[in-house]
């Protein structure tokens, strides 16, 4: 049985079922105009398509809270279009297609632990670790004498993703990356 909540109970990060989809409340605002009834203005992000919509609700309007299951699983390997994950407790393996994953696997290498998110048994996303350390496999050498600060160059890391790094980074260097933004943070 789904948990029913009213629009006046919305909080940022809450997931709800609305018009046949599952949405995360990104932003909400209680509005009490001088004339007329109060309402709740929301910005909702679809968990499956990442589309964003804006909706208004009456404060007493009821919606179902979506229960999102989050499981930590170990990434094993990629076989063509399928990526295989293993539950570290039951050793059960789960294949997921690249369509289900989107670009979440850009910075994930074999044996890394990721969080698999599902709703009613349907997997809709993968959260990689927030920060990863990867080896730079290819980048152009920095120009000697170029000491300008904040100058970046492209670098390919061991997972195949390309990021922007400072000029002093060379092939074989290990770098720390924020997976949410894809930004270089520091040498590792």
> How far apart are alpha carbons 57 and 55 in whole angstroms?
7
- Residues 6 or more apart whose Cβ sits within 8 Å of residue 70: 115, 116, 117, 127
For residue 1, the model assigns a pLDDT of: 45
Checking if the pLDDT of 86 tops 50, the result is yes
Checking if the pLDDT of 98 tops 50, the result is yes
Strands (E), the chain: 3-6, 15-18, 21-31, 39-46, 52-57, 62-65, 68-79, 82-86, 93-97, 113-119, 122-127, 131-139, 152-157, 162-166, 174-178, 183-187
Checking if the pLDDT of 128 tops 50, the result is yes
Which sequence spans correspond to the domains of the chain? 3-65, 68-127, 131-187
Domain 68-127 homologous superfamily, CATH: Nucleic acid-binding proteins (2.40.50.140)
> How far apart are alpha carbons 4 and 85 in whole angstroms?
33
The yes or no reply on domain 3-65 and CATH 3.40.50.10860 is no
pTM, to two decimals: 0.67
Q: What is the topology classification, in CATH, of domain 131-187?
A: OB fold (Dihydrolipoamide Acetyltransferase, E2P) (2.40.50)
Checking if the pLDDT of 100 tops 60, the result is yes
Residue with tokens 């203005």: 41
């Amino acid at each position: 049985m789904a948990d029913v909540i009213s629009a006046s109970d919305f909080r940022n990060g809450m997931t709800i079922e609305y018009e046949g989809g599952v949405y995360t409340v990104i932003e909400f605002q209680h509005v009490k105009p001088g004339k007329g009834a109060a309402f709740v203005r929301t910005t909702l992000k679809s968990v499956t398509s990442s589309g964003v919509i804006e909706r208004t609700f009456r404060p007493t309007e009821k919606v179902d809270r979506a229960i999102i299951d989050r499981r930590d699983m170990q990434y094993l390997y990629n076989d063509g279009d399928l990526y295989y994950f293993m539950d570290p407790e039951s050793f059960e393996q789960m294949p997921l297609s690249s369509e289900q994953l989107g670009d979440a696997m850009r910075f994930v290498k074999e044996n890394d632990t990721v969080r698999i998110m599902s709703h009613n048994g349907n997997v809709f996303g993968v959260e990689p670790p927030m920060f990863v350390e990867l080896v730079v496999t290819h980048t152009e050498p920095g120009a000697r004498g170029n000491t300008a600060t904040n100058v970046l160059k492209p670098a390919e890391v061991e997972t195949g993703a390309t990021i922007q790094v400072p000029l002093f980074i060379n092939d074989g260097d290990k770098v720390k990356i924020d997976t949410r933004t894809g930004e270089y943070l520091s040498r590792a």
